[in-house]
């Protein structure tokens, strides 16, 4: 099995560390690219500027509350681009707002998860994401 390329778009250092820790504990091969703002995420996905040599991710984990462009803007961009629209996008955020949840699904998010407050619960949630999306689900293939 080839490593799964995960794009994590998250600006909170503590959450980044917890997500990396949870994925490191798993036995599946994966590679994670971490970007801390929505504008960089869009440049990455468009292979622009410093990202011209990057391959497309197999899975995207996206926060709603990001600097420069928020997660909704990034999600809308992804799902409107035919070559990117098949990439599963997981919204992982602190927001439990009905508006954010509805907007995410209207923009074709594949799932919406509110970040648990407790560290152990947060780690458990990330492990469940990994178990479902990297062990059970068949991800689409794409040309790099």
88-141 per-position pLDDT tens digit: 999 999 999 999 999 999 999 999 999 988 888 888 888 888 888 887 888 887
Q: What is the CATH number of the domain that holds 41?
A: 3.40.50.2300
* Model confidence at 74: pLDDT above 90: yes
Residues ≥6 apart with Cβ < 8 Å to 25: 127
1-57 per-position pLDDT tens digit: 578 899 999 999 999 998 888 888 766 667 899 999 999 999 999 999 888 888 899
Would you state the pLDDT for residue 144? 47
Whether 144 maps to a domain, the answer reads no
Whether 142 maps to a domain, the answer reads no
33 membership: H or E segment, kind and range: strand 30-35
Instruction: Give the model's confidence band at 142: pLDDT under 50 very low, under 70 low, under 90 confident, else very high.
Output: low
Please tell me the total count of domains within the chain.
Answer: 1
Q: Which domain holds residue 124?
A: 4-136
74/45 Cα distance (integer angstroms): 10
Whether 52 maps to a domain, the answer reads yes
Whether 141 maps to a domain, the answer reads no
């Amino acid at each position: 099995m080839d490593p799964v390329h995960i794009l994590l778009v998250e600006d909170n250092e503590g959450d980044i560390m917890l997500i990396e820790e949870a994925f490191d504990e798993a036995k599946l091969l994966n590679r994670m690219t971490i970007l801390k703002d929505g504008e960089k995420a869009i440049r990455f996905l468009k292979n622009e500027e410093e990202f011209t040599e990057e391959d497309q991710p197999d899975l995207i984990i996206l926060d709603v509350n990001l600097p420069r462009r928020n997660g909704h803007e990034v999600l809308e961009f992804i799902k409107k681009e035919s070559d990117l629209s098949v990439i599963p996008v997981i919204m992982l955020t602190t927001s439990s707002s009905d508006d954010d949840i509805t907007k995410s699904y209207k923009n074709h998010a594949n799932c919406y998860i509110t970040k648990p407050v407790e560290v152990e619960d947060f780690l458990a949630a990330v492990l469940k994401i990994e178990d479902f999306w990297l062990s059970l689900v068949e991800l689409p293939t794409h040309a790099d």
